[in-house]
Amino acid sequence: MEQRVALVTAIGSFSAEAVVQGLHDQGVRVVGVDVYPREWVAQSLFVDSFRQAPFASSEAKYSAFVREVCASEGVGLLLPLTDVEVDFFNAHRDLLADLGTKVLISPASALALCRDKRAMAEFLKGSKSGVRGIPTVPLAPLDGRYPGHPVVVKPLDGRSSQGLTRVRGPEDWRAVCPPDPERYIVQPLVEGPVVTVDVVRDQCGSAVVAVPRRELLRTPNGAGTSVRMFHDDALVAACQGLADELGVVGCVNFEFIEEAEGAYRFLECNPRFSGGVKFSCMAAYDCVANHLRAHLGEPIAGLGEYEDCFIARRYSEFVTSRP
């Protein structure tokens, strides 16, 4: 049987280690790309081939680059790890069709909701999953008027907390001046621990697995560094229901704020591997192998028993080159 070859983007991102390791465990040859040079990216030591990529925002250059790599390396599977790249491949779904390369992202209908916070908030109003959203209004119609209570202002398609502003009073509000108010939303400020759930769903919805964790320490961009893996049957069932309603395929991540009384308020769906996917892989479930199975139309594994546990991330240093 011919060895599968996968292209993994943004291998300097938080999820890359788990994804590359998981693919290797499945016998897949991994071509890793990143916008930075090989010497700057520790994960470049652990892929089978590395290429430096242009930014996905430079669409013509990025398109040509991806096609050249896929053709020359015999890439059959492509796994984008960041929202920018998911958006790019969602907008260019036929880019690699003639090369036989399958891009492992959810259907366009699911991504249209996951990458638009206002549309998702409206969707949740009619959801039967039990997932509760946060009331959401557009920024522009407020016409500079302070809503009268603490709020969060964020881009419709924001990622990694970029462009997010917490407004606790009128002084903070006067400092809110995004370049395009039509592209921003306003939500009540809900504070509490962040709970994220890695969710894996097969193509037909016959199986959905969900693994929750409470993030105890996070980077400013929202990546958990110390977490507690835990069980919550009601939360898991709600996430399974929402995954079915959205029609996501493979591994995605739902984020929630846990309110003081224990209720969960939905923040967003990251339609890709979460930065902390390795926590789920270590503690409970092989998200990477089952992401592959889901997109290849194969049955995904069920979730076995696992123990609640604390997991903390540490950083390691590597010599990547000696000039």
Q: Is 317 a domain residue?
A: no
Same domain for 93 and 69, yes or no, is yes
Q: Give yes or no: residues 24 and 52 share one domain.
A: yes
Determine contact, residues 106/249, Cβ cutoff 8 Å: yes
- Does the residue 196 lie in any domain? yes
Assess whether 121 and 176 both reside in one domain. Answer: no
Q: Give the pLDDT score at 140.
A: 82
- Cα dihedral sign, 109-112-117-119: negative
Alpha carbons 114 and 157: distance in angstroms, whole number:
9
For residues 120 and 261, membership in a common domain is answered with yes
- Please report the pLDDT score of residue 252 as a whole number: 98
> In terms of domains, do 119 and 249 share one?
yes
pLDDT tens-digit profile, the chain (323 residues): 789 999 999 999 999 999 999 999 999 999 999 999 999 999 999 999 999 999 999 999 999 999 999 999 999 999 999 999 999 999 999 999 999 999 999 999 999 999 999 999 999 999 999 999 999 988 888 877 888 888 889 888 877 667 788 889 888 888 887 778 788 888 889 989 999 999 999 998 899 999 999 999 998 878 899 999 999 999 999 999 999 999 999 999 999 999 988 899 999 999 999 999 999 999 999 999 999 999 999 999 999 999 999 999 998 999 999 98
Identify whether 321 is part of a domain: no
Sort strands 151-155 and 165-167 into parallel, antiparallel or unpaired: antiparallel
Q: Report if residue 323 sits inside a domain.
A: no
Q: Is residue 285 part of a domain?
A: yes
Domain membership of residue 81 (yes or no) is: yes
Whether 218 and 161 map to the same domain: the answer is: no
Question: Both 120 and 240 in a single domain?
Answer: yes
Shared-domain flag, residues 168 and 279: no
Tell me: do 87 and 12 sit in the same domain.
yes
Domain assignment present for residue 24? The answer is: yes
Residues 200 and 248 in one domain: yes
Q: How many domains does the chain have?
A: 3
Closest CA to 73 of 41, 95, 105, 51: 51
User: Could you give the CA distance from residue 187 to residue 189 in angstroms, rounded to a whole number?
Assistant: 6
**Are 118 and 213 in the same domain?**
yes
Same structural domain, 206 and 307: yes
Name the token pair of 123.
Answer: 């969707």
CATH code of the domain covering residue 54: 3.40.50.20
Q: What is the CATH number of the domain that holds 226?
A: 3.30.470.20
Domain that includes residue 73, residue range: 5-104
Give which of 267, 241, 233, 232 is closest to 253, Cα–Cα: 267
Flag whether 14 is in a domain: yes
